[in-house]
Amino acid sequence: MPTDRRSAASLLAQTKPFRGLPAEVIEAFAERCQLRLLHTGEALFRQGDSVAALYVVGVGRLRAYGNRAGSEQALGEIGALETIGEIVMLAGERHTATVRAVRDSAILCLDREALMTLLRQYPEALLQLSQVVVGRLLDRLRNPDPGPPGPRTLCLLPATPGVDVRALGAQLQACYGQLGRVCLLDAATVDAALGAGIAHSRFDDATNNARLVRWLSALESDYSYLIYLADDQPGPWARRCMRQADRILVLADESSGSARPTPMLRLLAETDVEAVIAVALRLERSALAGSDPLGWCQAAGAETHYFLHDAQSVPALARSLVGQAVGFVLGGGGARGFAHLGLLRAARELGIPIDLIGGTSMGAFIGALHAEGRSVEEITELMRETFVQRNFLNDYMLPRVALLRTRKFRQRLGSIFGERRLEQLATPFFCVSTSLTRGVAVVHESGRLRDWVGTSMAVPGIAPPMVWNEELLADGAVVNSLPADVMRQFGRGAVIACDVSSDTALRAEGVSGPDFDALFHWTGLSPRPGLFDILLRSATLSSAGSSRGQAAHADCLIRMPTAGVGLFQWKALDRLLDSAYRHALVELEAFKPRLPPLARG
């Protein structure tokens, strides 16, 4: 980023505190600015420091950390053209957080005394800065957890020699071209612009390193996105790509062999980076079941993984990397969960992508089938065979632990899913169970599908809990029947939640009582509650209210028309699917314009 007055003025003019001010005012502030370069991991200031300056992020990304309960926790990220320090400066307080560079960054610094002098000289600037501060405080009140700004620089890193990152880079470039200008950057491009060998300059080569940093900074100002293509051999250019990135995507394919700490991944481990790291495995769909994504994640120090297995995989990856994906959350509700089939059908018809999916209980079952790549029609027939045409829930036993042994149902899940694991699914998937031991929700992202889907559906009293690591795990709906909060925590983009719970209250309409025998000689106007109804209602009572609170975590909450359908009324499948489809079509069509740009199709 050039340090001359004109460039500083151009940068200030794009920030909220200075946008729209007269040119001579902006130039007066620009004249007093100094440039500061921060290396990855370097602190701009620390919690408790006195305020020395107002900072403007010209290039790069920073992260704020706060000391809570004796440990440092990430509070949020600060991207290009954002300002830092104006609130505590005007309040006369010390810094309330530590701010460090997530990657190599260029910061404009406006000394506190110089700033105060200029604000007295130009009251219109003081007024605008005050408005920005008040607006930011109001935003914090309205949305205390806004999430980090979208990443603008991406490093594509080959896990092993011979892995082609250029083809993926070109595909991502085409995707992000819908949002702005995109630059695909490799060592040859750098050398062509600055001279042979410059791309491989070492960081301790002061002259060439400074020249390269300024050129890359200028590119970042000119383009909306930069995609760095690392060499397939470890070296200075690969290391620079890592340090310049907001996101690092490690790419492996069939030629990469088994998951292991390759020389490139060892370089990554040795490099001081704070970027989010993910793994992408380019495999045929038929090879997913035998893949080892967790092994590659461990070798790369990655938080998550993606599969590139067909033409739709790259757009889904592109959306996820910049926080423009669409996640679907399917709630629990017994037979009412068939309504999720209508949602999936409506989403397909409207062209709304399902980039990741998760659920509880019946929502977990249907979500897992979709994540495997099965069509709505295939899932519908599996539901029909499992719950309508055949009865896999009739292995009653002496109720010492539960009414059903559920061995037949677990065998049914085994015949459907086999040995398939959650982490091997084409679409990212999670399901939720409840730890009866600790009274908390447990999120499952890995392990055998048949185990965790079955656990997520194990209603206490009806089905026996799963014993795992000295804990008893049961139906996720006991504490969280609609885990939109879990999906939100992934931070991938929009969250669409489907609530099928309707009104689960048990009623005895027409019966006044008190009468302990009323259920035995039923005369009420409403259907008589059965044992399963009573047990299910008792088991999920605590999450009934929390599902309503999940609306705060969903960008689109669809409450399906399930009234009148019993929790075990399996024969309502077709009727419920049809009404849910029509309802979801209206709701999703209304929401579609609010989807992230890359998800609108």
**DSSP character string of 349-394:** HHT----EEEEETHHHHHHHHHHTT--HHHHHHHHIIIIIIS-S--
Share above pLDDT 70 across residues of the chain, in percent, rounded to a whole number: 93
| Tokens read off for 221 | 């100002």
Tokens of 288: 């997913």
Q: Tell which CATH classification among 3.40.50.10190, 3.40.50.300, 3.40.50.80, 3.30.300.30 matches the domain 153-322.
A: 3.40.50.300
By the 8 A CB rule, do 532 and 567 touch? yes
Asked if 397 contacts 404 with a C-beta cutoff of 8 angstroms, the reply is yes
Q: Output the average pLDDT for the chain.
A: 90
Number of Cβ within a 10 Å radius of residue 134: 12
Confidence of residue 541 (pLDDT cuts 50, 70, 90): low
Largest Cα–Cα separation, the chain: 92
The span from the CA of 252 to the CA of 262, in Å, is 11
Q: What pLDDT was estimated at residue 2? A: 44
Give mean pLDDT, residues 108-126.
Answer: 93
Indicate the helix (H) or strand (E) that contains 498. strand 493-499
Tokens of 64: 């704020």
Q: How confident is the model at residue 194 (pLDDT cuts 50, 70, 90)?
A: very high
Q: Taking a C-beta distance cutoff of 8 angstroms, is the pair 94, 48 a contact?
A: yes
Mean pLDDT of 124-136: 89
Quote the Cα angle for 363-563-547, to 5°: 45
Whole-number pLDDT of residue 313: 96
| Distance set, CA 281 to CA 226, 287, 302, 558 (Å) | 22, 10, 13, 34
Identify the pLDDT of residue 242. 95
Axis-axis angle for helices 23-31, 5-12 (nearest 10): 120
Q: Which of 330, 321, 287 is nearest to 424 (CA)?
A: 287
19: helix, coil or strand? Answer: coil
pLDDT score recorded for residue 505:
65
Higher pLDDT, 207 or 376: 376
CATH number of 325-503+539-599: 3.40.1090.10
* pLDDT, tens only, 252-284: 999 999 999 999 999 999 998 888 999 999 999
As a whole number, mean pLDDT of residues 29-43 equals: 90
Domain limits, the chain: 5-142, 153-322, 325-503+539-599
* Three-state SS at 180: coil
Arithmetic mean of pLDDT, 405-423: 95
Name residue 316's amino acid: A
* Distance in angstroms (rounded) separating the CA atoms of residues 44 and 59: 14
- How many helices (DSSP H) and strands (DSSP E) are in the chain? 20, 22
Amino acid identity for residue 116 in this structure: M
Q: What's the mean pLDDT in 356-368?
A: 97
- Going from the C-alpha of 394 to that of each of 366, 380, 405, 413, the distances in angstroms are 21, 21, 9, 15
Structure tokens, 548: 């309503």
Residue range 507-529, pLDDT digits in tens:
777 777 776 777 777 777 777 77
Task: Give me 176's structure tokens.
Answer: 């992000």
Residue 482 near residue 329 (C-beta atoms within 8 A)? yes
Indicate whether 539 pLDDT > 70.
no
Q: How crowded is residue 194: how many other Cβ atoms within 10 Å of its Cβ?
A: 16
Burial class (CB in 10 A: 0-12, 13-18, 19+), 43: middle
CATH architecture for the domain at 5-142? Sandwich (2.60)
In DSSP notation, 210-239 reads HHHHHHHHHHHHH-SEEEEE--SS-SHHHH
Catalytic (active-site) positions: 361, 475
Q: What is the mean pLDDT of residues 87-109?
A: 89
> Quick one: tokens of 579?
């009404």
Instruction: Return the structure tokens found at 162.
Output: 């011979």
Is 426 strand, coil or helix? Answer: coil
Average of per-residue pLDDT across 386-397: 86
pLDDT confidence tier of residue 172, bands split at 50, 70 and 90? very high
Which residues have a Cβ under 8 Å from the Cβ of 270 and sit 6 or more positions away? Answer: none
- Predicted confidence at residue 344, as pLDDT, reads 98
Q: Distance from first CA to last CA of the chain, Å, rounded?
A: 35
Q: Taking each helix axis from N to C terminus, what angle separates 23-31 and 123-142, rounded to the nearest 10 degrees? A: 80
Q: How far apart are CA 426 and CA 235, in angstroms?
A: 33
* Alpha-carbon separation of residue 566 from 98, 153, 245, 335 (angstroms): 54, 51, 52, 7
Q: What are phi and psi of 151, to 5 degrees?
A: -65, 150
Kindly tell me if the per-residue pLDDT of 601 is higher than 50.
Answer: yes
What length is written for the chain? Answer: 601
pTM for this model (two decimals): 0.84
Query: Which pLDDT does position 1 carry in this prediction?
Result: 46
Residue 543 has pLDDT above 60, yes or no: no
Q: Cα–Cα distances in Å, from 540 out to 97, 188, 268, 430?
A: 41, 60, 46, 20
Q: What is the mean pLDDT of residues 155-174?
A: 96
pLDDT band for position 532 (cuts 50, 70, 90): low
Whether the predicted pLDDT of 306 surpasses 70: yes
d(CA 363, CA 456): 9
C-alpha distances out from residue 553 to 143, 229, 328, 364, 548, Å = 11, 36, 12, 18, 10
> What does the pLDDT read at residue 544?
56
Euclidean distance between CA atoms 210 and 208, whole angstroms? 5
Tell me which residue has tokens 């495997």: 372
Average pLDDT over residues 328-340: 94
| Listed residue (109, 98, 107, 39) closest to 63, CA to CA | 98
pLDDT value of residue 537: 66
What is the secondary structure of 540-582 as a DSSP string?
HHHHHHHHHHGGGG-SEEEE---TT--TT-GGGHHHHHHHHHH
- Partnered with residue 431 across adjacent β-strands are 359, 444
